[in-house]
Amino acid sequence: MQRRWSIAITGGILAIGAALLLAQNTSWLTGTVDQKFDTLANIQPGLGTVMIEYSTRMGNIYYAAQAGNWGMAAYQLKEMVEIQEVGETTRPGRAAALKGMEQGALKPLALDIVNQNLTAFNTDFNTAVAFCNACHAATGFDYVVYKLPAQPEVPAKLDTGQTFTAQQLQTLLAGILAP
């Protein structure tokens, strides 16, 4: 008898807990469907948040290239362009400048990665950094000056000793290399 009571009480507590959890999960998203969409749209990452990932990947690309890990460099560049596209969507006023950065500064880096040409990569990397800071100056953020970190931020081994074919790298970078 006592056991049955305790099972019933446990079941009741679980049900109340689940109801509380469900209520908590949805209570912040209120109003009409349109209002809910607005609430969700307003918390999508803007350029400041996008730039944190953008610059982290920039440094990762650099260190991957120095380590001869061209696959990792290509992957980081591909992801960099993907987060850039989030910025283009949420801040359409900046989309043209970001596209200009991609065509003018990131595409040359993509070609250097496919060619596994470190000398050309290092030159084009410096040009790309100049592009970053020129855009900061042009948009009123001249105090944001990119600086390569002393170490890559990605917690991954970069000197894996792997070799890559141009085809493999081209496949990873197909989006940015497309005319």
Residue whose tokens read 């081994």: 157
Cα(65)–Cα(154) distance, integer angstroms: 13
Cα(45)–Cα(89) distance, integer angstroms: 10
Cα(121)–Cα(68) distance, integer angstroms: 11
Residue closer to ligand HEC, measured from CB, 90 or 168:
90
Supply the minimum distance, in Å, between the C-beta of residue 157 and ligand HEC: 23
Supply the minimum distance, in Å, between the C-beta of residue 128 and ligand HEC: 6
Residue closer to ligand HEC, measured from CB, 72 or 77:
77
Determine if residue 145 is left, alpha or beta; phi over 0 gives left, psi from -120 to 50 gives alpha, anything else beta.
beta
Q: Which two tokens stand for residue 72?
A: 């990792």
Cα(10)–Cα(158) distance, integer angstroms: 52
Residue closer to ligand HEC, measured from CB, 55 or 60:
55
Q: By the criterion CB under 6 A, which residues form the site for ligand HEC?
A: 47-48, 51-52, 54-55, 58, 94, 97-98, 101, 128, 131-132, 135-136, 139, 141, 144, 146
Residue closer to ligand HEC, measured from CB, 148 or 168:
148
Residue closer to ligand HEC, measured from CB, 136 or 168:
136
Supply the minimum distance, in Å, between the C-beta of residue 148 and ligand HEC: 9
In our burial notation (b when 16+ CB lie closer than 10 A, e otherwise), range 68-81 reads bbbbbbbbbbbbbb
